[in-house]
A and B are shown apart, each in its own frame.
Chain A
């Protein structure tokens, strides 16, 4: 059937691009002594943390070392700016498709700028390991790393257009997954590859538990009953099938991605400064610092609310309800509906963000209680992203297959 081969082509295309993105990590930036560098950063926890997003690109300083991170960061900045600067807001809301395309273009240019910044930071950071540190080397490595990041950005756009799923999410997913085997062997097998089986069993149980909790949180919905005016005429019984679904976690996987990308910022900044006072402040926010969890929870909350306000606007919903002639029982349409929806959305988002943060907290608690180290690499962030992206992609494939079926029915 043509629809099946079409879907298959898309999946193959996506896989091909993902493999290409993975290969590029191993193409080295010219001029660096990679062996010495690799040996020295293996024990560096900061680099391991940063490795999560670039899929190991950091410790090998391949061309794709920056990965999709500049694009994510510029998306965050653009979305924040769109809320603040009225011109951008107008572009996004009122000018429709063209306006959104302009915003996307600005995001891409911003990603270029960010990539240049980060690559210059890296080229300064690797100074001890370079054969020949001069201006030409700095230029070359900035160019190479920036080009690598742009390539990844373009690949992610290709995947979104011609493959399945959202390209950027899939790339992050792939990065995390490719780090998993290494993390497993590091955590549970010591130098002689003796298996410490009790720890391993416990870990598997906790892992599965976390996945289940995450799926429940991601999929949970609160249903708000709706009566349409037409139904009132026929019977006085509320039709239970008519409802407005509000998800527990509106943003899906995005708030977590953005929160953890922002958490990587202090880690980046520590590489740039040598000032001890600034370094001390920044270390508070790094993975081992005391304020890390506080900042992380604050960011998750903030991005959850932020995303909910973008995705679900109570005013729009109320207007649409009015147009459809439907209303929520016992609530007057208009301003009262808007207020009611807003209150429910706020509570839901708070609950959702708290769940997310609890899942993020579990590895830390386990570490204190059972002395199982290195759950961090599999920590909440990676797990949430894994589950979220997998669910989203699966749903997208389903939607795609269904829409293709409709197409073939009408032809």
Chain B
């Protein structure tokens, strides 16, 4: 059981990092203090799917970490 949890945790962490990195952010980072992000990027559907996937793995990661820490 422990091993399965650990393995799931490793997998979800790596996928999470990967999916966050794939994001294509529209903002300029810390250079500008506030900008008007009214324009959209080319593929909104992929962006939405990617957001959902990232949220899913985020929740999974947090849950698994809490569970492992409790044990």
Using a CB–CB distance below 8 Å, which chain A residues touch chain B? 24, 27-30, 63, 71-72, 75, 78-79, 100-101, 103-105, 107-109, 112, 143-144, 146-147, 150-151, 153-154, 157, 160-161, 165-166, 168-169, 252-254, 257, 310, 392-393, 395-396, 399-400, 403
Which residues from 42 to 61 on chain B have a C-beta closer than 8 Å to any C-beta of chain A? 54, 58, 61
Interface set, chain B 1-60, CB cutoff 8 A to A: 10, 13-14, 16-17, 20-21, 23-38, 54, 58
Given contacts A143-B13, A144-B13, A403-B36, contact A150 B30 (CB under 8 A): no
For this complex, into which size category does the number of interface residues on chain B fall? 20 to 34
A144 touches B65 (CB 8 A): yes
**Which of A78, A79, A108, A109 is packed against the most chain B CB atoms within 10 Å?**
A108
A-B pairs with beta carbons under 8 Å apart, 18 shown: A27-B62, A27-B66, A78-B29, A79-B30, A103-B29, A104-B28, A105-B25, A112-B17, A143-B10, A144-B65, A150-B16, A150-B20, A151-B58, A160-B35, A161-B27, A166-B34, A253-B33, A399-B36
Question: How many Å from the CB of B35 to the closest CB on chain A?
Answer: 8
Q: Contact between A396 and B21 (Cβ–Cβ < 8 Å)?
A: no
Is the contact region of chain B dominated by helix, strand, or loop, or is it mixed? helix
Write the residues of chain B forming the contact surface with A, with a CB cutoff of 8 angstroms.
Answer: 10, 13-14, 16-17, 20-21, 23-38, 54, 58, 61-62, 65-66, 68-69
Contact of B31 among A144, A147, A310, A392 (CB under 8 A): A310
B30 near A168: Cβ-Cβ < 8 Å: yes
Check A63–B65 contact: CB distance below 8 A.
yes
State A140–B61 Cα separation when bound (angstroms): 13
Residue of A nearest to B14 (CB): A143
A109 to B29, CA, bound (A): 13
CA of A106 to CA of B26, assembled, Å = 13
Q: How far does the Cβ of B51 sit from chain A's closest Cβ, in whole Å?
A: 8
Is B34 within 8 A of A396, CB to CB? yes
A154 touches B23 (CB 8 A): yes
Complex CA gap A107/B17 in Å reads 15
Give chain A residues whose Cβ lies under 8 Å from the Cβ of B21.
108-109, 112, 150
How far is A160 from B35 in the complex, measured between Cα atoms in Å? 8
Complex Cα gap A169–B32 (Å): 11
Kindly provide the distance from the CB of B65 to the nearest chain A CB, expressed in whole angstroms. Answer: 6
> Which of B10, B26, B33, B66 contacts A392, CB < 8 Å?
B33
Q: Give min CB distance, A123 to chain B, whole Å.
A: 15
Query: Which of B21, B54, B65, B68 neighbours the largest number of chain A CB atoms within 10 Å of its CB?
Result: B65
Q: For residue A165, give the distance in angstroms from its CB to the closest CB of chain B.
A: 7
B54 engages A157 (CB within 8 Å): no
